Amino acid sequence: MESDPEGCLAAVADAGYDAVEFAGFGALSVDRLRAVLDDVGLRAISSHVEYEELDNDLDRVIEDHLRLGCDYVVIQQALSEHFDSPATVRQLAAQCNEWGRRCRSRGLYLGYHGYHDFAKEFLLYNGGTLYDLFVAETEPSEFHIQLDTFWVRHVGERPEDALRRFSGRVEMLHLKDARGGDADGDCPIGEGVIEWPLVLAAAEDTGVRWLIVEQEDAPDDALRDIRTSLENLRTIRSALAEIRD
């Protein structure tokens, strides 16, 4: 995306994907990006936005996402100090609820990814964690959470269990497999240790609308790997559908 955004999006479409989630728009203007998406037959459902960007210019963020045709805006992560204490977590939740109402009034749905400052977000609190407190303090009608299968596993929970625990709150799920072992990292879907039939069944049962294939570790050939992930995902989903029928 950095060196050839138009060619990259064309390759994503050619790999068989229908939609994308952005994490920044790179060197392209929003209008040019929308034109490229339309040309290659992709739609943008969402993008990750830094907390500071929302804090400084929420109206412009909303306008950009509407021009792209998105349904969602996702806060990539909060500031570290937001998870200093239960009080600061509640303040963050109140801010997110306010932003969520403003997004909803324009037809967008605001959410949160997180899972970065693990030592703080998953500090034990009141039988759960500060992350659990944050979710509980945000309004489901105004605000959703975006779970990530790899990071859920990283903090010690089975992704399918987390989905059921947060049932109805997860509209978009990041699908990322884990190699497992001492040198744990992510890998194409179906080549790691995550039990995808269980995850996909839980996603179907709990109201997930979008499955977002993601890979963070630098692969030798990213475009090859996104094809592998999609092929394996379709095979797993077909097998699951037969079992469930």
C-beta of residue 232 within 8 angstroms of C-beta of residue 190: yes
pTM: 0.94
Q: How confident is the model at residue 115 (pLDDT cuts 50, 70, 90)?
A: confident
Number of H helices, E strands in the chain: 10, 11
Q: What does residue 136 show for φ and ψ, rounded to 5 degrees?
A: -65, -30
pLDDT at 26: 78
Three-state secondary structure call for residue 45: strand
The predicted structure's pLDDT at residue 25: 84
Rounded to whole angstroms, the Cα distance separating 206 from 209 reads: 9
Domain that holds residue 222: 5-244
Parallel, antiparallel or unpaired: strands 128-129 and 109-112: unpaired
Q: What is the pLDDT of residues 120-132, one digit of tens each?
A: 999 999 999 999 9
Neighbours of 159 (CB within 10 A): 27
Q: Name the band, by pLDDT with cuts 50, 70 and 90, for residue 24.
A: confident
Question: The CATH number of the domain where 63 resides is what?
Answer: 3.20.20.150
pLDDT digits (tens, 9 = 90+) for 31-49: 999 999 999 999 999 999 9
Q: Is the pLDDT of residue 220 over 90?
A: no
| 21 Cβ contact list (under 8 Å, min separation 6) | 44, 45, 46, 47, 48, 74, 172, 210, 212
Please tell me the total count of domains within the chain.
1
